[in-house]
A = this chain, B = another copy of it.
Amino acid sequence: MTISAETRVDLMRFWSTIERSAQIGVGRPGGLSRLTLGDADRDVRNQFVAWCREAGLGVEIDTMGNIFGRRAGQDDTLPPVMIGSHLDTQINGGRFDGIAGVLAGLEVVRTLNDAGHTTRRPIAIVDWTNEEGARFSPPMVASGCFVGRYETAWCHDLIADDGARFGDELERIGYKGDIPCKAGEIDAYFELHIEQGPILDAEGREVGVVTGGYPSYGMRVRFTGETAHTGPTPMDLRHNALIAGARFLTAVDDIGWEFAILDGKATGSRLAAWPNKPGTLSETAECVADVRHPDPATARVMAEKMRRAASEAAAKAGCALQVEDEWFWGGDIFDPELIGLIRSEAVRQNCNWRDIQSQAGHDAYHLAMHCPSAMIFTPCKNGITHNNKEDCDPESFRAGLNMLLHAVVNRADR
């Protein structure tokens, strides 16, 4: 038996896995709070592994806790086709962000099983550890490690705000695997994800073919000043790192407004000062900020303004500035051939689709550094995400799942 051109996924079977996942790490009403490497993350991993085994997949876990469910191909020596995303959530997260992509892979495999279809190449479905970065920074760290951007030992030494060490938590929940976290040859990587923006929903589209990502520049900086009394210390003798941080994030927000008319965004997402107490000026402040714009040249301008804002904030507040990390992502990173394949499926299946750029970071950005990669976006209501009000219904996944199925089979049978 084989997959035919008319084969479709079992939408309600997929939905039942979404609903089961939504019982693990329940957050605010309708949402999830399933921080990476916590107990709920362990529980959902256990459920995912059980589903993989039920589907006849070979389960492998690497030293970063990435879980791979492997389905053998007719020629198992060929590089696999991979489908992945993440099962962890933000602290006030939704039920779909990342989760839909992992369970889409599971549904593809189950559909292949139903059809008795063995693809020529093996297929692997993946849950990437800590995509969100909501507990351990940076986000997408395990897919980054997989493609060689980060060292495993460095990742294991990451410390959360709650004091926990990444490697210790991996071990505690039983997901520190033996396989080195290092990508071998991969034929193609697919990731289905909710859009996390309002465009598909607003336009009534069933699906988006992701052509790339908004060029995004981010930085983590540390301002260092000196503790002193809030009262008598004259303004010009102050070195209040909290104020340096506040000035920096205010300036970043101003940059966002300046470029908003052509869809630019700038975000201050973190300010952690110390001691951060009434009565004393703060000695240190760590800030995270980023800028995003669809036009690469404009994004570069915004990034330069962000860097200047950090220097100016430090100078105004009499603090030293240390840039602890800088990053860039986005651009035309996805594979034209895979994009074309997904577009063809959208046309063949008569979906209401459009090309779209991602504005969020995804594990696919890391995979694209290593192998041909592409993404499929499905609509989410009003574009709300990273919030318990994130909402989708089963129908919103139908087109995306079926396009994913056939794109994967097409590629895996090459």
- B-contacting residues of A (Cβ < 8 Å)? 90-92, 132-134, 137-139, 195-198, 214, 216, 218, 220, 226-236, 240, 242-243, 245-250, 253, 256-257, 260, 263-273, 275-283, 288, 290, 292, 317, 358-361, 383-387
Contact = CB atoms under 8 A, between A and B. Distances in A.
Contacts of A387: 226-228
A100 to B, nearest CB: 15
Given A269-B277, A386-B280, A216 B243 contact: no
A231, A249, A280: which has the most chain B beta carbons within 10 Å?
Answer: A231
B92 A279 contact: no
Nearest to A316: B253
Number of copies of this kind of chain in the complex: 2
A275 B230 contact: no
A228 B389 CA distance: 10
Contacts of A218: 278
Contacts of A281: 267, 269, 386
Contacts of A384: 228
B260 A197 contact: no
A139 B279 contact: yes
Contact of A279 (B133, B197, B245, B263): B133
A227 B196 contact: no
Contacts of A195: 232
B271 A276 contact: yes
B196 A360 contact: no
Given A137-B278, A232-B383, A246-B253, 8 more contacts: A133-B278, A197-B232, A230-B290, A246-B247, A246-B249, A267-B281, A278-B288, A280-B386
A279 B358 CA distance: 14
Contacts of A246: 245-250, 253, 268, 271
